[in-house]
Structure 1
Amino acid sequence: MIAKLRGIVDGIGDDHVVLDVGGVGYLVFCSSRTLRSLPERGGDASLLVDTHVREDHIHLYGFGDGSEREWFRILQGVQGVGARVALAILSILAPDELIAVLAAGDKAALGRANGVGPRLATRIASELKDKAGALALGRVGAAGAEAPLSADWQTGGAVQDALSALGNLGYRPTDAHGAVAAAARALGSNATVEALITRSLKELAR
């Protein structure tokens, strides 16, 4: 199984790159975000790879970083999401943006991806919301001195209600998650929804 390729960019298409590795051209399907990050033809490039082997084909899917490959695999755990749809989602949403969108249950954002209709968007948001919520709040402020919130607190009702309230007020999912995470760390696990919202609004006003 191929897990990584490094070579010379031989050509870039709408959904793939041909990577010349020692004289052998590998056709690797990628998200549009990954394709945009690659150098022009003749440049050196390195991609993490997920290899799919079927009876009638072998397809290689390439990623600029491990988090994109991780979410490519996670998304395909949802019924109705194949490799192409997973790449379409990752083409419009970076991994951190996808985490925030899923945690907030933002079906409209998911529906912007090619091949994702309202029903599939609802299924993806429903099945991955809890996982994404824990990841989102655990990552916010990771560069700071505070330890990540516990898994129980990350997915607690007060936090989710505060996120929902901020979303209803028109705040973007990424901004709302950052503010609520900061408020939760400052107020502790016994904070009420009202206290979290008030503190979060102060964070957003800074």
Structure 2
Amino acid sequence: MIGSLRGQLLERFEVGGRGEVLVEVAGVGYRVIVTPTTAVRMGDPDTEVFLHVHHHIREADQTLYGFLERSERTCFEALLSAHGVGPS
């Protein structure tokens, strides 16, 4: 399970109202969902970034959610444990 990523920010973009970034770590590009605010706070492409990551695994899908602060990830994971809250 992926818990964090440190690497170069290659791209940031918006898809369907949510932020998404592409972070390259050791030659591998990881697509990570972030809030639009987090995407802006990460800086410009070619910046070194660090994200705390929640690796969400479902039957047919794996998604990475990125957070600048560990406390944000902890809050997100607490919300996931509530019935009916979180990614569908």
TM-score range, shorter chain: 0.7 to 0.9
3-state secondary structure, aligned to 1:83: coil
Any residues of structure 2 matched to 1:37-48 within 5 Å, and which? 37-48=41-52
Distance in 2, Cα, partners of 1:27 & 1:47: 12
Per-residue CA deviation, residues 133-164 of structure 1 (Å, 9 max, x unaligned), is xxxxxxxxxxxxxxxxxxxxxxxxxxxxxxxx
Question: What residue ranges of structure 2 are gaps of 5+ in the alignment?
Answer: none
* Matched residue, 2:28: 24
Q: Percent identity?
A: 36
SS at match of 1:7: strand
The CA deviation at 1:7 is 0.5
**Would you say 1:52 and 2:56 are equivalent positions?**
yes
The answer to which structure has the higher helix fraction is: 1
Paired amino acid for 1:80: G
Higher relative contact order (CA 8 A, sep 6+): 2
> For the residues of structure 1 that align with 2:40 and 2:72, how far apart are their CA atoms?
14
Taking structure 2 as the reference length, the TM-score comes to 0.86
Runs (4+) of structure 1 exceeding 3 A deviation are none
Q: Number of residues paired by the alignment?
A: 84
Q: Which residue is equivalent to 1:5?
A: 5
Give the greater-gyration-radius structure (CA).
1
Structure having the higher strand fraction is: 2
Of residues 40, 65, 68 in structure 1, which corresponds to 2:72? 68
Specify the code of the residue in structure 1 equivalent to 2:60.
Answer: D
Deviation of the 1:52 alpha carbon: 1.0
1:1-206 matches, cutoff 5 A:
1-14=1-14, 15-83=19-87
